[in-house]
Structure 1
């Protein structure tokens, strides 16, 4: 069997990893991962023929020569290789997780830090047990700092990802209602996300700043859940940020939300304030922006570097993106959805300055037994928010509609499927409005955009 050290010697000669035979990088190491519907051992020969230097396999039937490296388990070998590589890197790694805002916050942090450092960060949302090791293995000797996003839908997953990424600094954006089926309720979510704090406060964090007995943790001081989670674990190397508070490294507030955010932030040590215009919408993004500002400040970036990073960041991947059409302003936020993110997105529409407002909300997935109750709560929140029209799409929203009385104000429609909604919107087009489109990725709400 090929050992991790043997693999690492080959990785140093061939520091590019491939996992998809349709995208084989020349002279790379191909890892034959298994999926629910495929076994990439079958494609090892194809990978070699396509240009891979070696193929890592765990089925001896496919070992056709010295370039086929047999291991006990391909996924475990990939993770062990990444873990070993991280130990060779004497650089800070910022690990972040949370219920909402992980990817946006990661992108903001990376955009700010890259104004000064050569950074590497998780690409897109490749934040799971495969994506994290793949990201770690893209870090080379020229990188000065890394930002690693860690996602989870069950217990012990963050613990595993921490053992691979070995973060020296960490951030939990928030703890809310998501993947309730896998976590076993909100308390399960807190426990799972708290695995990052457990790691940072324990002996597991191998890279630390000189003179520190714990890794550094960045915490929103306005979040009572996070501050209690940190206190319960005895964390002491904490940098705070938030709206108010004398202990904050940086503080901030929204100046305008129409619908792009303008905010004022203060470096409390210098007692200096700055106003910046962002390309983000959503009052809920204030804390994500402040997290990036606090980390930039902590790592001694100049004010201009921090402000340029924040102002230059453009959201993508259908997360709080503003799309301007001929007659409407769309807030496209349909990459993912859960009860927590739904509530803040709805609240944001209620606060923004617009003449006519419309909510288009699609079903939230992975809610388990709480699904109807959570969809009912979202409907109530939407009904309590001053908008001109509300459109709900999906079988769970339709089922939940029977539980509540419709409000007197505003027009309200329920469609069991996205196709039904498309037909309804074609018959009754929306014009001259600011429209929030939000739902779980599986609802494919991007199909609605062309109707506006």
Structure 2
């Protein structure tokens, strides 16, 4: 949405005179700023955007939003290009809310402990068959990402799909007050960010902030809730709006049954308002069926006939490193889910592995699950025990507290030579290259900071050559 620099100054209540020029976009990254964009000089823990103000102005920025102290010291020659404010992050959020209100369209907000990015991508893909949709790029879901998404709104956009995340109480409420969603989707609540919360109930309270802050500017808001998650189901209590539920269990308004895995994804039967039909999602596991059900429920709340989006769901393409399925020569299958991990998400992928038909061996490359606080060792041990109970043949634990995955697996009785630990992903990748053989099913999953994409990249590149496929346990296993 094109604004004038003077209009931005008025919205931000800045009284200093500014140039009258068009603002074609906004950025907080000096490296990616394009001519005509407005630069917000954010002061962060590692970098201070004020250090790059002169540079971005030389490169054609429409102007810069800066702290008052910087403006006071700035040369008079560039002051007309600067908008002084008390705090630049707050200014970014204020302008974003202004743009959102000026646009005035329907906005779907999505949160949850797991699956929110995949669900966001699904909703946007399904709605794009009918509407021009703006969606959060990647996982731009925090106090910077949400405003930047809103600032990309154009009058031609008919619906916006925005992901909201948090690491502390009150953050989702703040984001919802900026984005003003009138439809809120909560995928689930689980044990994530326990480094910052004292219990899963506290996490649920933080997630509920989305439902509590839905906007009624366009009429009665709608909450789309996971009926199978008891904590999320309770979000309907006291909510003065429409409630649409989804899930696999009896009682969900949009219910998935008869889930059937196959090499390229999963099929399921959908029962819901005005629909009884079989659907396919090209992603593995019942948890991705739940994500699909959330997406179908959300598009239904937008007035879309869910039967009409069956082809779009069947051809959906997720973001990289999220439930990707790679089939390699020698009938080797890689499940690449290495973008992130937590105990609940890991358990769901273990269930997916156990239900997979036709695998010679099941190999799990399990990276450390971060931000679990003092409960981390036991949560990792529990995953190790669960892996052995589910029949996994080999376990490769990677980095930090993942060593406790190996400990848990040994406690559950796995052969010590089939459960190994590496302190880094590169070493684990080299080990896996020698381990994986024909017919194997390999799950690669861990928190983003473990960099397990190195494992996936090495396997897909090396094993794409059938002559390179080996079978057995490498020597010098840790």
Q: Same fold (TM over 0.5)?
A: yes
Which residues of structure 2 form unaligned runs of 5+? 1-7, 464-478
Aligned to 1:224: 230
Alpha-carbon distance in 1 for matches of 2:84, 2:154:
26
Distance 2:259 2:280 in 1: 9
**Alignment partner, residue 343 of structure 1:** 347
User: Please, which runs of 5 or more residues in structure 1 have no aligned partner?
Assistant: none
Q: Deviations over 1:151-203 (max 9, x none)?
A: 11111110110111011010110000111111233122111111112213xxx
Conserved? CA contact 1:258–1:354, under 8 Å = no
Cα-to-partner distance string for 1:33-90 (whole Å, 9 max, x where unaligned): 1222211111111111111111111122345320122111111100011112222222
Partners of 1:11 and 1:368 lie apart in 2 by 51
- Aligned CA distance change for structure 1 residues 333 and 254 (closer, same or farther; 3 Å): farther
Q: What SS does the corresponding residue of 2:223 show, helix, strand or coil?
A: strand
Q: So what's the TM-score if we normalise by structure 2?
A: 0.86
Q: How many residues align?
A: 440
Of 216, 238, 242, 1:237 maps to 242
1:406-445 matches, cutoff 5 A: 406-408=412-414, 411-445=418-452
Kept in 2, the 8 Å contact 1:253–1:263? The answer is no
Which position in structure 1 is the counterpart of 2:475? none
Aligned to 1:32: 41
CA distance in 1, matches of 2:283, 2:297: 18
CA separation in 2, counterparts of 1:258 and 1:387?
Answer: 19
Distance 2:270 2:427 in 1: 48
Query: Alpha carbon RMSD of aligned pairs, Å?
Result: 2.4
Kept in 1: contact 2:336–2:443 (CA 8 A): yes
- How far, CA to CA, are the matches of 2:249 and 2:20 in structure 1? 48
* Map of 1:300 onto structure 2: 303
What TM-score does the superposition give when structure 1 sets the normalisation length? 0.91
More displaced stretch, 418-427 vs 62-71: 418-427
The 1:371–1:68 alpha-carbon spacing in structure 2 relative to 1, beyond 3 Å, is same
Distance 1:207 1:137, change over 3 A: same
Matches within 5 A, 1:72-151: 72-151=86-165
Change (3 A) 1:393 1:46: same
Determine whether 1:381 maps to 2:391.
no
1:149-188 matched pairs, under 5 angstroms: 149-188=163-202
CA distances 1:345-375 after superposition (whole Å, capped 9, x unpaired)? 1111111213222111011111111110111
Query: The residue matched to 2:86 in structure 1 has which SS?
Result: coil
Aligned residue for 1:275, secondary structure, equals strand
What does residue 266 of structure 1 align with? 270
Contact 1:92 1:207 in 2 (8 A): no
Tell me the residue number matched to 2:291: 288
Q: Measure the CA separation in 1 of the matches of 2:207 and 2:251.
A: 27
| Residues 116, 305 of structure 1: 8 Å contact kept | no
User: Alignment partner of 2:65: what SS?
Assistant: strand
Q: Which residue of 2 aligns with 1:369?
A: 374
- Cα deviation per residue 1:198-244 (whole Å; 9 max; x = unaligned)? 213xxxx24232xx3xx21011222222112322x345520122224
